[in-house]
Every structure is written in structure tokens, then in C-alpha cells.
Structure 1
């Protein structure tokens, strides 16, 4: 039977304040250029400054992030040597952050080698924080990673239980500015996850109740 693996979840308006209490030296924030332009990165930066953490930003994540993107991000991580990696955004930046974290900790692996049947032995160099800015993917609390192999024109479903975030910070204010179309799209995404969880082969009595309630 498959059981839950969950990060520490900080939820509620003002949850971003939890970053003030994070202890560390350096953080690498994985996000996209749009969120930087919208000022959401500035909010995260302010809290990390309060915590005395030196912050570096990798903002080159595209929708459905490519293998090459996360390899580039992992190289940035090796140069920065963060003790926190922070995924800020929708599913794509958070998935990219998970993959970058694994490749930073395990430079011997290729992205396509991340799977549930190996021991990654993460958290030797860094830990992971996820901060969603949309409401649909749930990527902040799962170990799933979806990357795009642009050379072979295919999506890859990857992941390992070890690459669940240490802390998920869910602050509704971060998603408050979503346009109506994105709000609708992410709502249907959440519904799809609930249906899939209820009908999938890995469902349990516990997950059934959560899916029905959703």
C-alpha cells in the first residue's frame, strides 16, 4: 500500500511570513520571469532578507520545463551552493525546483533517471521549500516531476518520494491576482486530480474520502 509523504504545510493569509524564521546561508529561488515582473519575487526576497539569507534567482523556467532548463538550473545551484532551494510559481517552477534539487544533490544522475525505485539520499546539501502562486496543480506537496524532452518531443513523468518539499508555504494572497481564465483552468485541474485520485489504482480508503470531499 502507498502512504502519504507530506511536507510541513504552512497555510493561511500571511503564511509567507514563515520565511522570516528559515535558518540558512544561501537560497536559490527557482521561478519564471513573469513572477519576477509581477513583484512576487520581491515579496519572497523581503522575507529572505529578514532571515539574513543571501538570495539568488533562477528565473528561466518555461511552461512544461525542458530537461535542458533544469540542467542549467542545476549548474547554477552548483555555483551558488545553496542550503535552500525554493520553488516559486505554478506547477512548472515547482517541478523544475524539485528536479534542480535532485540534480544538485546527485550530479551523477540525468533527469530521466529520477524514479521511485532508487535511493536519492537527498538533504545532504540543501532542503526544498515550495510556494505556489496558482491553486490547481498541488505540486507543492507532491513528489511528481513533469519535464519535457524537447529533442524527443515528449513529456516525462518523474519523481521519487524523497523529493517531496520540506516546507510548503501556501499563502492565498500569492494567488489572489490570478486572471479569471487561469482561475478557471486551475480549478478544473484540481477537479481532475480528485477524479484521478479516486479512480486510480493507488487509491486507498483514506484518499477516497479526500477526493470525494474535493
Structure 2
């Protein structure tokens, strides 16, 4: 766990930290001198403390069910305060007498593969909340996101509460910026630039989203 670049940690049955690895400290930008062992989520000097009740409920659920629990955390984490979705899994921890003595948690940056990446046999990559280039403004970035979901101008207009004529005009200007002349060419441009891995931050709710599909450990 200590040598892993992914997040690892162990808690007891009272949701007190027994162990966290280096990646966990770096992820939450916890000072090196701060003693995590024995603390609970609400006692950590990080934004995650505000979600302590939800996290501890999941700890208890993991212990009581004896099953793995999966969740997604999205917040401004780390030294650079970047918005990053992380996939977390919690497992019950048993002793030699097969009694549950706590939980083990594991976290990593979310991997993502678009249909285009799959068809091209491109390896999964991380979701991006920062645009791969500064060519487009915020409004245009939202349109790109929906365009790459194969939505029409009318569908995008409904999503963004605008007229489809406004969306079409925006698209025309975006074609000019990217030096293309058709929607097909524009999609290729966006995919090559990496926009197929980009999600506008406002489309990602901050906090913790629990995934209910649980599997036995």
C-alpha cells in the first residue's frame, strides 16, 4: 500500500483511521506533521471533512453487509486544487477469527473510455475537467460536450435553454476556429484534441455519489 500511487487506507469499526498511505496524504494535501491515526473524517484538515457523516455511514454499511461498496468522490482536492473525480471502493476487514474489525478503502482517478476510443482500441484514460486547449470559451465547451454525445443542435438547445439557431451560429464560429467545414470534421478535430475525455466542471456535482451495485467481497 505504501508504495502504491493509488490511495489506500484502513479504518477501525468506529471509522477511526488506522493507516493511510503516502498517496492519500498527497491527494488531500495533509501536512506531513499531522497525525492521521486515531482521527475521524471530520477531524482531518481537508474539504472531505464536510462529508464525514456520509462516509461514516458507508463504513458502517460495509461492515454490516460484509460487501464491497463503491462510490465516486468529486471535489477540489490536492495541492493544485483541481477538480478530480475519484473512484473509491470499501471492503470489510476481517481478523483471524473471521470477525470484522474495520474497513479497507482504495481510491484511484477515474478511467474513462469513449466509444471512439474503444473502436480505435485506445487505452482508457482519465476524465479531464480542464479543457485540452484554450481555443473555445465556456459556452462553446458545453456545446462540444453534447456534440460528442451525438446530440443535434435542437437537443443541445433544449439542454442549454437556448434556441437551436443560436447553437447553430455558435457551431459555425467553432468550425472557423478549428479550421473545419463540417460537423464530421469538427468531431474528428475534437476527438484528436482530447475533448472526448473532457467534462465541463459544472456538469460534475461536487461531493460524493454512492453507487448501489454492490458485490460480495
Both structures adopt the same fold (TM-score exceeding 0.5): no
Q: Indicate the structure whose relative CO is greater, using CA pairs within 8 Å and at least 6 residues apart.
A: 1
Greater C-alpha Rg? 2
TM-score relative to the length of structure 2: 0.23
TM-score, normalisation: structure 1: 0.23
